[in-house]
Amino acid sequence: MIVAGIDVGSLTAKCVLLKDGEIVAYKVIKVSPNLEETAEKVFGEVLREAGIDKVDKIVATGYGRNKVSFADRTVTEISCHAKGALFFIPTARTVIDIGGQDSKVISIENGKVAEFVMNDKCAAGTGRFLEVMASALHLKIEELGDIAERAERATKISSTCTVFAESEVISHLASGERVEDIVAGIHEAIASRIAAMARRVKVEPDVVLTGGVAKNKAMKRALERELGMEIKIPAEPQIVGAVGAALFAMS
Amino acid sequence: MNVGYLCTYTPKELVYAAGFTPVRIFAGDEHISLATAHIQSYACSQARGSFERALKGELDVQAVVFTRCCDTLMRLADIWERNTDMKVYNLEFPSRIDEKSRDYYFRELQDFANTLKEWGGDVTDESLRESLKLYWELEEKLKKLFEVKPDYEAAKKVQEMNVRDAIEFVDSRLKKVEKSGKGPKVLITGSVCPFLEVYKLFEEAGFILKDDICTGTRFFTFNTPLKEIESVEDGLSFLVEKYFNKAPCPTKHFPNDDRFKYILELAEDCDGVVFLLLKFCEPHFYDYPQLKEKLEEMGKKVLLLELEFPISSYEQLRTRIEAFYEVLA
Amino acid sequence: MTLKKLKATDRMKQIMGGYYMMGEQAEVNGWITSGAPVELLYAMDIYPVYPENHGALIGAAKQGPHFSDFAEKMGFSRDLCSYARCDIGCVFAGTSPVGGLPEPTFLFACNNICNTVIKWYQVLSRIFKVPLFILDTPFIRKDLKESYIRYVHDQLYEFVDFLEKTTGRELSDLKLKETLIKSVQGVNGYSEVLKMAKNKPSPLTCFDAFLNMAPIVCLRGTDYPIEFYAEMKKELVERVERGEGAVENEEVRLLWDNIPVWYRLRWLAEFFADRNACLVADTYTNAWTGFISMDKSDVFWSMAETYTFSYLNIGIEHTAEAINRLIDYYDVDGVVIHSNRSCKPYSFGQYELQKMIDVPSVVIEADMVDSRVFSEAQVETRLEAFLEMLK
């Protein structure tokens, strides 16, 4: 049985092919304004890579899940991230996903979602926050983690609002703070926001961090400090949601 | 035992008379994180910031007294009780301040005195007489100090001290204080602002300050001369009088719109009025448009500054305050 | 899928149309808050105007941002209650979906639902320059103290004086007792309607309850709610006899907390119906069933007690108990919690309540009238995930 999971997020789209429960191919692409086209594109690329032309079942998830008209059904990213995280790390009890515009903390009991919380409407504590800050500092989002690693101390960012935080960052620059320290401060601000949210559910080990941001080592460490717990990162953190979707397609 | 409170309608005289130290709780400088798990982000940062400090274990208080001043603090009492080891008491200060609510408030004070007793404190004729006298002394001295020059640092510090130390502290400030120079006079009105840098920004811009702030003059303006009391009951009646005559606050309902009258009178000798309002503070924000209109009719210039604690960008504030100075000068 | 409509809703619209028409003709009227003792007004033939109901109506007509904007332009902050913003906005706009409310003879605010109403009505009293009466009900965080009831009781007498002076009319004891009896009958009838949701499948959803709650709020103490809810109940009994649910294939039973998201009522109703989930009850409409324990020997004392111990004027332990009672009675699987930016007393404490109630819950962020703070994608994801979790 060959199944596909497609995760259309607000920044990237991911597609995973599973053959008898094993990953045979996956792709991550940037999202274009047309979500339907994006989904078709990422699906097409994965098929090409795997050298097959058809799958038995497709499940879509993520922010744009309802735009994937060729999917057999949709499942939310909460259920998919839980399932996907368990695929990579079977001992996972808590999943933290820092998404483009939604971050979530999911607590798992007996292999199922027991509770979850998500950020309120504002973007602080999401990938979007990092993106805005990166552009304010004229940096690439992928570089942020490495830059933060070179910080001597973390500059305090006290604004919780993305817009205010952006001007705060600019004024820190103007007053001569080191870019490395500011970037470290940005990581701490997000980590503190996420940790605050996580406290509304039970945070129990193993804690797994998913989403593209999980590749950022500084973020992982900032979160570990805030939560006082070790965090595990799946081999391919960005495709966890898509893997979860594919697993739903199998059942 | 230290007994914390947030609202200046808390009868701290009674707390002190019971042998406890009343301590005002302010929001801190730190980013609000722990509190976020217990109360939504559309609660004001005074509530969230104060609670944050309680959760972080930064407060050396063993009990907290709430009064019904707004919906947020009304709900915060339960949330506070469930998440800290502190004793929590809610004294239901009436929302109507008039003849009809006097008896009721007297009963609330009696109940509060009984609770203080349960907490191991004892209010006696003697201790209450002493406490009323000390607070009267402190308030008179603060008034004197502010008449020469407003001293927000002193006002803040004394609220976190034992009243005897507070009097001594104000005495030391009185010795050093020098009259402020010349400049346009501005009335700052709003709820609480324990961040002293804000007042400094005004002074640095060249303003002479006057305020209607809950952590400033509203803390010590009671308009009731001290009376010798015969008994605890007598003392409670005096407290009813004292707190009903207190500088009015927008969380209460007064006959004849006393709150507006009070502000308009305060503004008379000022060149401008600054509303220093905390985001999400309903009582003040409801008053703002109509009060502003009345002030402008009086020919006063008005500026609204919306704050969130901890204050993240003093430079933004500075620009606004300096621009306002340029408008007035 | 199409939603099943209750015939009663058409009748409700007629009644409320009549209610608004009555207002245009009324000689004297008082603007009143939703939790206030309206019986005193009806007993003196004073027409009660409900700005909150008006706000809900504006929300349902998706006109919230439009009318709120009039108030915001005058300097009223966007962080203030959206009912208040719309109400004040309509005054400045000089109109509303029902042509604006009649100008008040007096204002009557009771803070048993929030402290906000005091401020809101102060604003109105400065605009209209009419007398304002505040009925101050102390918050019952723990115990209902006798001194609280005494205070409210004395204010009720004072309010009668106020009414007599303002309108030149006299309150008849007999008329008041009659009105209170009708009020009790209306509340009981309404309560029976809501209790029909105990049936499986439930013949009504909380959306039906929201749509049809206006008569118990605005006309309590008159004959209208008594007749209307009897009729509505009949229709529901028929559904039960036919074994017909409000939602086809009811699989999950849920409870709603907080004021409805008026501009998304239909969207939410369809969302849940499509997923075989039925919101069988809610804490909001049930707030109007708890009250009136009428001791005929001292009706003022009873009124004082009833109106002080109201759902939004009690501490979190009382609230949790009330919610758990509903969970148990209606046998619900989960609670959908609306964190309502406009209603702080209803919303603060919800995170604690989540830990105190007997079933899982989910929080969605919204506002009762201001659709600008509503994010469809976010709400949809949270609700879908919650349903996936429950199944």
Chains with at least 3 CB pairs less than 8 angstroms from chain A = B, C
Q: Residues B217, B223, B225, CA angle at the centre, nearest 5°?
A: 125
pLDDT greater than 60 at residue C292? no
Say if residue C291's pLDDT is above 60.
no
Indicate the burial class of A109 (C-beta count within 10 angstroms; 0-12, 13-18, 19 or more).
exposed
Q: In Å, how far are A66, A80, B304 from B42, measured between CA atoms? A: 31, 30, 19
Q: Return the bridge partners of C47, or none.
A: C29
H helix runs in chain C, sequence order: 7-25, 39-42, 51-60, 64-73, 82-93, 116-128, 146-167, 173-195, 206-211, 214-218, 223-241, 265-274, 283-286, 299-308, 316-330, 344-347, 350-356, 376-390
Q: What is residue B203's three-state secondary structure?
A: helix
Last residue of a domain, one of B89, B121, B153: B121
Answer yes or no: are the C-beta atoms of A44 and A97 closer than 8 Å.
no
Are both A110 and A15 inside the same structural domain? no
**Rounded to an integer, what distance in angstroms lies between the CA atom of residue B36 and that of residue B118?**
33
Average pLDDT, chain B: 96
Cβ <8 Å between A121 and C375: yes
Kindly give, in sequence order, each residue whose CB lies less than 8 Å from that of residue B33, ignoring residues fewer than 6 positions away. A192, A193, A195, A196, A226, B52
Residues of chain A found within 8 Å of residue B31, distances taken between Cβ atoms: 156-158, 160, 189, 192
One domain for residues A40 and A162: no
| Cis amide linkage into residue C104, ω under 30° from 0 | no
Chain B CB contacts of A199 below 8 Å: 34, 36-37
Q: Which residue has the tokens 């939410």?
A: C268
Q: C360 contacts in A (CB within 8 Å)?
A: 114-115
**Residues of chain B positioned with their CB less than 8 A from the CB of C75:** 288-289, 292
Phi, psi torsion values for B278, nearest 5 degrees: -90, 130
Contact C360 A77 (CB under 8 A): no
> How many residues are recorded in chain A?
251
Please check whether residue C375 touches A, CB under 8 A.
yes
Which tens digit of pLDDT belongs to each residue from B81-123? 999 999 999 999 999 999 999 999 999 999 999 999 999 999 9
Say yes or no: A1 and A44 in one domain. Answer: yes
Subunits next to B (3 or more Cβ pairs <8 Å) are A, C
The one-character DSSP state at C314 is: B
Q: Give the pLDDT confidence of B253-279 residue by residue, as tens digits.
A: 999 999 999 999 999 999 999 999 999
Candidate from A150-164, C75-89, C243-257 with smallest mean pLDDT: A150-164
Q: Distance between CA B326 and CA B303 in Å, rounded?
A: 12
Confidence of residue C334 (pLDDT cuts 50, 70, 90): very high
* Residue ending a domain, choose from B105, B121, B137: B121
Across the interface, do C115 and B251 touch by the CB < 8 Å criterion? yes
CB of B240 within 8 A of CB of B106?
A: yes
**In this structure, what DSSP letter does residue C115 have?**
S
What's the maximum distance between 2 C-alpha atoms anywhere in chain C? 62
Q: Which residues contact A133 (CB under 8 A, 6 or more apart)?
A: A144, A165, A166, A169, A183, A186
CB contact under 8 A, A76 and C378: no
Is there a contact between A24 and A5 (Cβ–Cβ < 8 Å)? no
CA A100 to CA A96: how far, in whole Å?
A: 13
Measured CA to CA, the distance from residue C241 to residue B207 in angstroms comes to 77
Q: Which residues of C touch B280 (CB under 8 A)?
A: 79
Residue C293's pLDDT band, with cuts at 50, 70 and 90, is low
Q: Is residue B315 domain-resident?
A: yes
B193 is written with which tokens? Answer: 């602002």
Shortest Cα distance from B42 to chain C (angstroms)?
7
Rg (CA), chain B: 19
A7: chain C residues, CB-CB within 8 Å: none
3-state DSSP helix/strand/coil % of chain C, to nearest 5: 55, 10, 30
Q: What is the chain A residue with the closest CA to C351?
A: A200
Chain A residues in contact with B40 (beta carbon < 8 A) = 120
Strands B63-67 and B21-24: unpaired
Residue C217 is encoded by which pair of tokens?
Answer: 């709020």
Same domain for A211 and A247, yes or no, is no
Q: In A, what residues contact C, Cβ < 8 A? A: 63, 75-79, 102, 112-118, 120-121, 200
- C57 φ, ψ (degrees, to nearest 5): -65, -40
Name the minimum distance, in Å, from the CA of A232 to any CA of chain C: 24
CATH code (residue C218): 3.40.50.11900
Number of separate domains in chain B: 2
What DSSP string runs through A80-98? HHHHHHHHH-TT--EEEEE
pLDDT per residue as tens digits for the range B136-169: 999 999 999 999 999 999 999 999 999 999 999 9
Give yes or no: residues B301 and B195 share one domain: yes
Low-confidence ranges of chain A (pLDDT < 50): none
Measured between beta carbons, the chain B residues lying within 8 angstroms of C158 are: 100
Dihedral angle, C-alpha A210, A216, A219, A223, nearest 10 °: 40
Residues A79 and A169 in one domain: no
Q: Are residues A85 and A174 in the same domain?
A: no
Number of domains chain C contains: 1
Question: Residues of C with CB below 8 A from A102's CB?
Answer: 378, 381
- Look at residues C189, C92, B100, B48 and name the one whose alpha carbon lies nearest to residue A158: B48
Specify whether B197 is located in the same domain as B276. Answer: yes
Q: For residue C139, what pLDDT is reported? A: 97
Strand order in the sheet with A57-61: A22-30, A12-19, A2-8, A57-61, A73-74
Chain B residue with minimal CA distance to C125? B257
B37 domain-assigned:
yes
Q: Which residues contact C233 (CB under 8 A, 6 or more apart)?
A: C189, C192, C193, C196
Strands (E), B40-114: 63-67, 87-91
The residue of C353, C370, C371, C384 whose CB has the most chain A CBs within 10 angstroms, and thus the best one to mutate to test that interface, is C384
Please give the pLDDT value at position A123. 65
Region C287-305 average pLDDT: 78
Instruction: Give dist(CA C371, CA C369) in Å, integer.
Output: 6
Q: In chain C, which residue's Cα lies nearest the Cα of A120?
A: C365
Contacts of B308 in chain A (CB under 8 A): 159-160
Q: How large is the average pLDDT for residues C208-230?
A: 96
- 3-state SS string over C196-256? HHHCCCCCCCHHHHHHCCHHHHHCECEHHHHHHHHHHHHHHHHHHHCCCCCCCCCCEEEEE
Distance from CA of A176 to the nearest CA of B (A): 14
B252 pLDDT tier (thresholds 50, 70, 90) = very high
Give the number of other Cβ atoms within 10 Å of residue B171's Cβ: 12
Strand order in the sheet with A103-109: A112-118, A103-109, A94-98, A207-210, A231-232
Instruction: Give me the sheet containing C252-257, strands edge to edge.
Output: C277-282, C252-257, C334-340, C361-366
Question: Does residue A198 contact residue A96 with C-beta atoms inside 8 Å?
Answer: yes
A199 contacts B312? CB cut-off 8 A: no
Residue B222: band (very low, low, confident or very high) from pLDDT cuts 50, 70, 90: very high
CB contact under 8 A, B82 and C141: no
Spell out which residues of chain B touch residue A195, defining contact as CB-CB under 8 Å. Answer: 33
**Statement to judge: residues B83 and B201 lie in one domain:** no
B255 contacts C162 by C-beta, under 8 angstroms = no
**pTM for the full predicted model:** 0.91
A100 and A198 part of one domain: yes
Please tell me the total number of residues recorded for chain C in this structure.
391
Choosing among A61, A78, A97, A109, which should be mutated to test the C contact, i.e. which has the most C CBs within 10 A?
A: A78
What is the rounded distance in angstroms from the CA atom of residue C224 to the CA atom of residue A33?
Answer: 54
Average pLDDT of C307-312?
Answer: 93
Residue B130 lies in a domain: no
C389 touches chain A (CB under 8 A): yes
% of chain C beyond a pLDDT of 90: 93
CATH code, domain with B259 = 3.40.50.11900
Q: Tell me, what's the pLDDT at B31?
A: 83
Burial class (CB in 10 A: 0-12, 13-18, 19+), C304: buried
Q: What is the pLDDT of residues A1-51, one digit of tens each?
A: 999 999 999 889 999 999 999 999 999 999 999 999 999 999 999 999 999
Residue B129 CB neighbours (<10 A): 20
In a domain, B142, yes or no: no
| Tokens of residue B47, six digits | 């509530």
Q: What gap in Å lies between CA B105 and CA C130, rounded to an integer?
A: 28
Residue of A nearest to C375 (CA): A121
Q: Which residue of B has its CA nearest to A117?
A: B37
**Residue of A113, A116, A121 lying closest to C378 (CB–CB):** A121
Residue B318 is encoded by which pair of tokens? 């500075």
- The reply to whether C373 touches chain A by the CB within 8 Å rule is yes
User: What tokens does C274 get?
Assistant: 């499509």
Q: Is residue B196 part of a domain?
A: yes
* Amino acid identity for residue A88 in this structure: F
* CA–CA separation, C184 and C198 (whole Å): 22
Decide if A110 contacts A45 (C-beta within 8 A). Answer: no
**Residue B42 in domain:** yes
Its ipTM equals 0.97
Task: Please tell me whether residue B214 adopts helix, strand or coil conformation.
Answer: coil
Nearest to B313 among A160, A167, A200 (CB): A167
Type of residue numbered A185: G
Beta strands in chain A (DSSP E): 2-8, 12-19, 22-30, 57-61, 73-74, 94-98, 103-109, 112-118, 207-210, 231-232
Do residues B39 and B55 touch, judged by C-beta distance below 8 A? no
Which residues span the domain enclosing C367? Answer: 1-391
| Three-state DSSP class for residue A116 | strand
In this structure, are A44 and A114 located in the same domain? no
Q: Does C175 touch chain A (CB under 8 A)?
A: no
Residue B325 to residue B203: CA distance in whole angstroms = 10
CATH code, domain with A247 = 3.30.420.40
Q: Which of A115, A157, A172, A199 should we substitute to test contact with B (largest number of B Cβ atoms within 10 Å)?
A: A199
| B250 touching C (Cβ < 8 Å) | yes
Rounded-to-integer distance, Cα B132 and Cα C260, Å: 49
Whether the link from the prior residue into C345 is cis, omega within 30° of 0, is no
A173 contact residues in B (CB cutoff 8 A): none
Interface test with A, best of B41, B279, B309 (most A CBs within 10 A): B41
- Domain coverage including residue A146: 92-233
Domain CATH for B35: 3.40.50.11890
Are B90 and B207 in a shared domain? no
Residues 55-114 of C with CB under 8 A from B: 74-77, 79-81, 84, 111, 114
pLDDT band at C298 (very low <50, low <70, confident <90, very high): confident
Same domain, B194 and B316: yes
Task: Name chain B contacts of A171, Cβ cutoff 8 Å.
Answer: 313, 315-316
Q: In terms of domains, do B108 and B197 share one? A: no
Q: Alpha-carbon distance C243 to A156, whole Å?
A: 62
- The number of folded domains in chain A is 2
Distance CA C249, CA C253 (A): 11
pLDDT band of B61, cuts 50, 70, 90:
very high
Q: Which tokens hold the place of A206? A: 């193993």
CB C94 within 8 A of CB C100: yes
Q: Which domain holds residue B21?
A: 2-121
* CA distances in angstroms from B131 to A21, B239, C89, listed in the order given: 76, 11, 49
Express each pLDDT in C98-150 by its tens digit: 999 999 999 999 999 999 999 999 999 999 999 999 999 999 999 999 999 99
The secondary structure of chain B in percent helix, strand, coil, rounded to multiples of 5, reads: 50, 15, 35
* SS3 at position C70: helix
